[in-house]
Structure 1
Amino acid sequence: MNEPIAALRALRSVELRTTACPESADFYAGIWGLRTVEQGPDAVWLRGSGEQHHVLQLTAAPRNGLGRLSFALATPAEVDAAARRLAQRGLPILAGPGPVETVGGGYGLQFADPEGRVIELLADTFAVARLGREDAVPVGVTHVVLNTVDIDAAVAFYTDVLGMRVSDWSEHQMAFLRCNSDHHSIAFNRAEWTSVNHVAYEMPSVDHFMRGIGRLRHHGVLPLWGPGRHGPGDNTFSYFADPAGLVCEYTSGIAQVDEDRWLCRVWRRVPELSDTWGTAGPPSGETRTHMAGVADPGAFERFPELRERIPGAAALSGIGAVPVTAPGKY
């Protein structure tokens, strides 16, 4: 059995493709609490109060979707080793390994999973100073929930190839995966098509979490669902829609996993475990529609033969078939 290609340290940042880039940039850099670090004609990069150069990239696109997931590695040597292991597995590389020439810098590579999501592994990115935590603003991205047409295949890929560990299941509907002590940095949700469900941003405490919700309410932005506290992960939640209709979440207090003691659990999908506080009620139809998103071909749109090159991709339902070009520069 092949070893994982790398030891992931953390979810570093997320790129979202958005139909409302200028409006969403104003939203995230305004009342949501992130700060713009760089802006181009079709993209904007935003940071939280933590040490990541940026945690969110918004890229203008004709439909909403996931641009890429960026994970931190410790060193460029680990990126090079990941490239060798990808080649051994027959997984094509989309870019790198090598110096990253775009915003944030670093040394990295990109490849795609069997549903076309672009995964980036990065080391040595630009350093930024941590900001004060007095204001009710996010530290950074803490997890992303992804809709999948085959939850078992998705979990198998992210555990086998990326070395993530399953923390818990919510029956056979959701799986929560970790790459460090946080209960989950990626979760998969069974759905009719591949898409991004939501992106969650860590608030330093429950007090910051509630004050952030209050700030949005002051600006007339009400939660789609929440506030409440989930059973799996034990984290607080309050979900909102950004100007493009993509779902963003404030959260705090994620459970910490002791690798030597943690036992994976299968949670029942009942209201009292979806929200242990009992304050949020069930998610509305509008919330579910926002979280379903739209079918997202991801990398398969740019590389229409890639689907035939990624083991297992061709077996997944219907988002096209894909050519991989030679590994590209950043």
Structure 2
Amino acid sequence: MTQPIARLRRLRSVELRTHASAASTDFYSEVWGLQVVERGTEGAWLRGTGDQHHALQLTQAERNGLGRISFALATPAEVDEAARRADALDIPVISGPGPVDDAGGGYGVRIVDPEGRVLELVADTLAVPALGRDDAVPVGVTHVVLNTVDIDAAVTFYCGVLGMRVSDWSEHQMAFLRCNSDHHSIAFNQAQWTSVNHVAYEMPTVDHFMRGIGRLRHHGVLPLWGPGKHGPGDNTFSYFADPGGLVCEYTSGIAQVDEDRWLCRVWRRVPELSDLWGTAGPPSKQVREHMAGVPDPGFSALAEPAS
């Protein structure tokens, strides 16, 4: 059995490639509730009310896709050890270990998973003060759902190599993986191609969650699906599309896992379990198309050709 290369402490941030970077930056800062902390010629970095320098990075690209997913490690020494173990397992290491030359700083290493997703393991990122939680805006990113062509291989890699644990299955269609007490920070959905399904942002309470939905309605932005409450994870949900067509979710109340007591469950894929409240109805063809995204070749498309 493969020994995990590191102990992931939390999901830190997500970089999304989008063909509508400017419009999406305006959406996430003026409507969704994040704050721009830095802005460059090709994108922007946005934070929530939590203590992470940024939760979301938007990068201008010809087509939508995943830039990278960033996980927090405890120390630079853990980063060095993760890089050493990844190299020993012939997992591609594309940068580091070393200082991260990017907004948010830190000391990190970037590796590539079997479907070409770039994963950043980083410690000592820039500290920012947590903000007040009175407004109905997100704390930060809480989970990412990824479409995969081989759910078993994806689960094997993220559990065996990254030390994540399976919290629940939704039949053999979805797998929910955790790295701390949150029910899931990554979930995989069996699909026809590799892509981002959606990114979820934590609202502190159900009240914040509903008031956030109200703010979006005030701006003329209606949910693709929701509000409702999922069975797996026990969290509220309401899904929206950003200007680039990528799906973003408000959520609250994610189940907390007691490692000594939790039993992994296989949920049936029926409407009454996908939405315990019965308020959202089944997902529409439109939301399924948005969540399918477009085929994402991952790192192979990002890497520059050799000169």
2:262 match: 262
1:64 match: 64
Letter paired with 1:250? Y
Gaps of 5+ in 1: 305-322, 326-330
Q: Determine if contact 1:17/1:65 at 8 Å carries over to the other structure.
A: yes
SS of structure 1 residue aligned to 2:52? coil
1:204 match: 204
Structure 1 runs (4+) deviating above 6 angstroms are none
Letter paired with 1:233? G
1:194-246 Cα distance to aligned partner (Å, 9 max, x none): 00000000000000000000000011000000000000000000000000000
Query: What TM-score comes out, normalization by structure 2 length?
Result: 0.99
Measured in 1, the distance between the counterparts of 2:174 and 2:306 equals: 31
Letter paired with 2:300? F
Higher deviation after alignment, 137-146 or 82-91: 82-91
1:301 match: 301
Measured in 2, the distance between the counterparts of 1:229 and 1:185 equals: 17
1:309 match: none
Cα shift at 1:262: 0.2
Q: Determine if contact 1:92/1:324 at 8 Å carries over to the other structure.
A: no
1:226 match: 226
Cα shift at 1:92: 1.9
Structural RMSD (CA): 1.2
1:18-62 Cα distance to aligned partner (Å, 9 max, x none): 010000000000110000000000010000000000000000000
Letter paired with 1:218? H
Q: Determine if contact 1:18/1:61 at 8 Å carries over to the other structure.
A: yes
Cα shift at 1:300: 1.5
SS of structure 1 residue aligned to 2:281? coil
SS of structure 2 residue aligned to 1:31? helix
Q: What percentage of residue pairs aligned between the two structures are identical?
A: 77
Cα shift at 1:161: 0.3
1:83 match: 83
Measured in 1, the distance between the counterparts of 2:158 and 2:300 equals: 19
2:284 match: 284
Letter paired with 2:202? E
Query: What TM-score comes out, normalization by structure 1 length?
Result: 0.92
2:192 match: 192
SS of structure 1 residue aligned to 2:98? strand
Residues 324, 81 of structure 1: CA spacing in aligned structure 2 closer, same or farther, 3 A cutoff? farther
Measured in 2, the distance between the counterparts of 1:143 and 1:279 equals: 22
Cα shift at 1:301: 1.6
Cα shift at 1:303: 4.1
Matches within 5 A, 1:1-330: 1-303=1-303
SS of structure 1 residue aligned to 2:31? coil
SS of structure 2 residue aligned to 1:142? strand
Measured in 2, the distance between the counterparts of 1:102 and 1:73 equals: 17
Measured in 1, the distance between the counterparts of 2:153 and 2:228 equals: 30
Measured in 1, the distance between the counterparts of 2:107 and 2:96 equals: 8
Q: Determine if contact 1:202/1:252 at 8 Å carries over to the other structure.
A: yes
1:240-294 Cα distance to aligned partner (Å, 9 max, x none): 0000000000000000000000000000000000000000001110000000000
1:56-112 Cα distance to aligned partner (Å, 9 max, x none): 000000000000000000000000000110011011200000001211000001011
SS of structure 2 residue aligned to 1:87? helix
Letter paired with 1:133? R
